[in-house]
Amino acid sequence: GCVLVVSVIEQLAQWHNSTVKAAVERLCNYIPGKYQIIRHMLRYIDKEMNADVVCHSLKLCKQDPGQPLCHLYPPPKERAQSVSRLLKPHIPEEQQSVMKCFMGFSSVCAFPPLANLCEKIKYVLRTKLPFEDFDGDKFSTFPTLRGYHWRGRDCDDKNTTVYPGRRPDNWDVKSDSNCNGIWGVDPKDGIPYEEKFCKGADSQGVILLGDSAGAHFHIPPEWMTVTQMSAKSFANLPMAFTDELDWPQFSEITGFLNSTIGGWTDSLYLRLRRRNRCNHRDLQNISQNGGSSGNLLYLIKSLARNQLLDNPAIVIYATIGNDVCNGNRDTLAHMTTPKEMLSNVVQALRYLDSHLPNGSHVILTGLVDGRFLWDNLHDRYHPLGQLNKDITYSQLYSFLDCLQVSPCSGWLTSNETLRNLTSERALQLSNVLKEIARSEKFANFDTFYMDFPLRQTAEEWHKMGGEPWQLIEPVDGFHPSQIAAALGTSITWQKALREWPQVLGKENPFNDQIEAIFKDQGGH
């Protein structure tokens, strides 16, 4: 983190031909007030030192005994001193006092302006439930902190029997019990609108059980690209921070808002809603950064579905990488085995069988072939390296791997043999999912399997004139981009129409009438 921030400050000074102190002030003026911890941290950067040197001198980076020296930039070329000595220069007394002040905070969350916010974030990280949920029904009227960006928006947060996805209470004659905006009685014939428009309409929700790809992890490149940087660049920082740097409101499965991060939004939820307007707001994105078949067994307990009161749901089970991805040096030893995958997924499906209403569907998604990442990015410049043409994705991957914080040591590596072995294990785990879908039977849902459609997505994007690297998030060089998410939706939908039309339900012939009558109540 220190190396990234110092790099941005030094490049700001270069781009604007200013002092480092002026660059720090410029960046701090861009960032919303309570997030300005960097002003306290980096006031005395020396722009003659690269970011690795600065962060070692601040003691925010260190070399553990017996471990290699990790650096993003090439080490200073001086023969008289060792590299490790160069990365531990003398710290001026004035800078030491600032450093001591900063190091007095054991973490960013100990910094007073952020302490309260961090407590809220810790709560949602622990529970995966909305922080603002006054009636305890797992739905919220607040967007972030696991609120309605993640689950359909509650329309009465003081009544635990009112929430998205439930079957209407007495056909919603007097109020909107399922938050789909349809309620009341048609004065022409006395028939409740819910009964007239939604009875027998195969209403169903969409639920994602997934990882950071499903949660739609994204770090805006303008946060690190000084040629594009302005106060506007960081306007979304508070929202991003309280959504764990995820953007589920634009995601492939549960997206519902127009994308503000490039590309466009197309999601399974939006397509189901267009097919049947009665499905409005019935979505849940139960994903987490680092989600795998193992930790999903805990995450799944935040599911909100009542077998007796709620509509059926389409559940997408998609942990597309973390069962083979980790940051360990002996990465192969830490990958999920086929036996563990079988046990984890079957346990999750049994839990779903005890919570999903009858008539639900589960789609198991195979793991991605992550060799695509290295093949298309390794020799391209990262956003941090574009100004001076000095940092490629290969360098970034090596830096993260050295720190043992790589999102995927098996794929983000120059070692072709390791990349192939990682893909081999991913294929084995996908085959486990395929066999589960073929052989396991459950009382309340049927089960399907589909490969992760990376190849088809790349082919479709190529036809549209795009380049493969544009399908990958530019800052982390690992996650699917907004474009990839939108194209993936289209491919998944077409497959379902061809092979499992029963999963999608039928078209509601009353959609236009619903929109005409309830157009003012259709907001998310």
The predicted-structure confidence for 44-65, as pLDDT tens digits, reads as follows 566 567 889 888 887 888 888 9
User: How far is the C-alpha of 494 from the C-alpha of 77, rounded, in Å?
Assistant: 56
With cut-offs at 50, 70 and 90, classify the pLDDT of residue 102: very low
- The helix (run of H) or strand (run of E) holding residue 446 is strand 445-450
pLDDT for residue 117: 79
Closest among 41, 257, 24, 243 to 142, alpha carbons compared: 243
Contact 288, 211 (CB under 8 A): yes
Above 80 in pLDDT, residue 114?
no
Please give the structure tokens belonging to residue 204: 């169903």
DSSP state of 129: S
In the residue annotation, 212 being an active-site residue is answered as yes
Q: Of the given ranges (60-64, 307-311, 319-323, 402-406), which has the lowest mean pLDDT?
A: 60-64
pLDDT for residue 418: 98
Q: Of the given ranges (8-22, 35-49, 233-247, 267-281), which has the lowest mean pLDDT?
A: 35-49
User: How far is the C-alpha of 129 from the C-alpha of 303, rounded, in Å?
Assistant: 9
pLDDT by residue (tens digit) across 333-377? 999 999 999 999 999 999 999 999 999 999 999 999 999 999 999
pLDDT by residue (tens digit) across 366-420? 999 999 999 999 999 999 999 999 999 999 999 999 999 999 999 999 999 999 9
Please give the structure tokens belonging to residue 240: 């991003």
Q: Which position among 212, 293, 360, 423 bears the catalytic label?
A: 212
Most confident of 33-37, 75-79, 230-234, 490-494: 490-494
pLDDT for residue 255: 98
Closest among 315, 321, 346, 340 to 436, alpha carbons compared: 346
Residues 6+ apart with CB under 8 A from 295: 288
Burial class (CB in 10 A: 0-12, 13-18, 19+), 147: buried
- The helix (run of H) or strand (run of E) holding residue 286 is strand 283-287
Closest among 191, 197, 161, 196 to 179, alpha carbons compared: 161
* DSSP 3-state of 100: helix
Q: Of the given ranges (59-63, 204-208, 325-329, 383-387), which has the lowest mean pLDDT?
A: 59-63
pLDDT for residue 253: 98
With cut-offs at 50, 70 and 90, classify the pLDDT of residue 434: very high
Domain ranges of the chain: 1-83+91-110, 209-511
User: How far is the C-alpha of 202 from the C-alpha of 413, rounded, in Å?
Assistant: 47
Ramachandran category for residue 119: left, alpha or beta (phi over 0 → left; psi -120 to 50 → alpha): alpha
